[in-house]
Structure 1
Amino acid sequence: MPADHHPSPLSGPSRDAGASAIEVRRSSRRRRTVSAYREGDRTVVLIPARMSEAEERRWVGVMLDKLAAQESRRRPGDSELAERAARLSAQYLGGRARPATVRWVTNQNTRWGSCTPAEGSIRLSHRLRGMPEYVVDYVLLHELAHLLVPGHGPDFWRLLEAYPRTERARGFLEGVVAAGRLPGPPDDGGE
C-alpha cells in the first residue's frame, strides 16, 4: 500500500458487503473528493484521511449506490436485452429476426452467444456484461442473423455487413480471448 494510504477503521483489510468486499483507503493527499472502483471481487473506496468514521460510513454507502447504478446501466437485464434485440433487428435486419426469448446465461464459457432457431431463443454469455455496447450489440445481431440464416456462409455475413462496427467488435472479442490465453506478468516478489 502506498505510504500516504492508510487503512480505514471500516475496512480492516476489507469488510464484506454482500457479494464483494469493501476496502476503504484513506489518503492524506486527497482533500475533498471521494471515489470508488471495482477491483476484481472487491470495491475500493478512496477518501480523505481527515474524514470522520461517520462520514466514511455515509460516503461508502453513497459510492456503493453510485457504482451499482452505473453497473445496472452497463449491464442490462433480460427485458432490456429483448428490447435491444428488437431495435437491432429493426435497424439492421428489416425487423425480420423476431426472437421468442433473449436472455443472459451463465453456462456459456466458450461461446459469446448462441441461438436455437427452432425455438427462437437467443442466449448471451454473462461474460459480455460490462463490455462496450457495440460489442454486445454485435453479438446480439450475430445471433439474430442466425434466426434468419443458419451457419456462417456468405448469406449470413451479408446480413452483418450493415452493422458498421462488425470488424471492430470481432477484433475486441478476439483480443479478449487472446488476453485470456496469455500468462500473467512474472511475479517479482515485491512492488
Structure 2
Amino acid sequence: MPELTPASIPDFPVEVIRSTKRRKTISARFHGNTLQVRIPARLSRTQEQEAVAELVEKVARSRTSSTISDAHLAARAHALNAEVLQGRAKVSSIRWVDNQTRRWGSCSQLTGEIRISSRLKGVPAYVLDAVIVHELVHTFISTGHSAEFWQWADRVEKAERAKGFLEAWARMP
C-alpha cells in the first residue's frame, strides 16, 4: 500500500463506486471536481482501501506536477536550493517553456535563468525536483557534468530513480 504523505493527500473528494459488472479492472476519472474510483463489488474492504489509495496517490502526484505554475516552480526551486544545495545556486528566474524538445531543462549560468520543458508537467514530483536541482547545480558548477557536478545533483531525493524515469520517458512516443 502506498505511504500517505502530506503531498499525497488529495485536494479533491473521492467517491468509490462498487460495480457488480466489473470483474478485474479498477479505474478512476474525474466527474467535475470529484475523483470517481470504480472497483469490482467483490473486493474486500482491505483490497478496496489499497486499490483506492494507490489510484488516489497516482492521480494526486500527476495533478501536482501538471498544475504547477511558474510561481510555484520558482518557490520549489528556492526551497530545493536551500534544502539540497545549501543555498549555493544563483537562480534569477525559472519557468516552463514549450520549445524544448530535446532537453528536460536548460540554464544560463551568466544570468541564472532556468527553463524547464513543459513536457515534464505530467511527471511525478521527485522527477521534476531532480531536473530542477540539476539545472540549479549548473548555476554554480561551471565544469559541465563533472564528478563534482554529479555529487551535488545527486543529493536530491530519489536521484537515480528520477534518471531512470527520464530515460524511459524520453523513449515514449
Q: Same fold (TM over 0.5)?
A: yes
Matches of 2:97 and 2:84 in 1, distance apart?
24
Task: Say whether the 8 Å CA contact 2:105–2:116 is kept in structure 1.
Answer: yes
- 2:114 corresponds in structure 1 to 122
Unaligned runs of 5+ in 2: 1-18, 23-27, 36-59
Aligned residue type for 1:36: R
Matches of 1:130 and 1:100 in 2, distance apart?
25
TM-score (norm 1): 0.58
Largest Rg, 1 or 2:
1
Matches of 1:28 and 1:162 in 2, distance apart?
48
Aligned residue type for 2:156: Y
Matches of 1:78 and 1:111 in 2, distance apart?
18
User: Quick one: which of 90, 100, 104 aligns to 1:112?
Assistant: 104
Matches of 1:127 and 1:121 in 2, distance apart?
18
Task: Say whether the 8 Å CA contact 1:85–1:140 is kept in structure 2.
Answer: yes
Matches of 1:78 and 1:174 in 2, distance apart?
25
Number of residue pairs aligned between Structure 1 and Structure 2: 125
TM-score (norm 2): 0.64
How far residue 108 of structure 1 moved from its aligned partner, in angstroms, is: 0.5
Task: Say whether the 8 Å CA contact 2:107–2:114 is kept in structure 1.
Answer: yes
Structure 1 pair 73–66 and aligned structure 2 pair: CA distance change class (3 A): farther
Matches of 2:155 and 2:133 in 1, distance apart?
10
Q: Give identity over the alignment, percent.
A: 41
Q: What is the RMSD of the two structures over their aligned residues, measured on CA atoms?
A: 2.4
1:36 equivalent to 2:29? Answer yes
How far residue 98 of structure 1 moved from its aligned partner, in angstroms, is: 2.8
- 1:154 corresponds in structure 2 to 147
Task: Say whether the 8 Å CA contact 2:129–2:156 is kept in structure 1.
Answer: no
Matches of 2:29 and 2:32 in 1, distance apart?
8
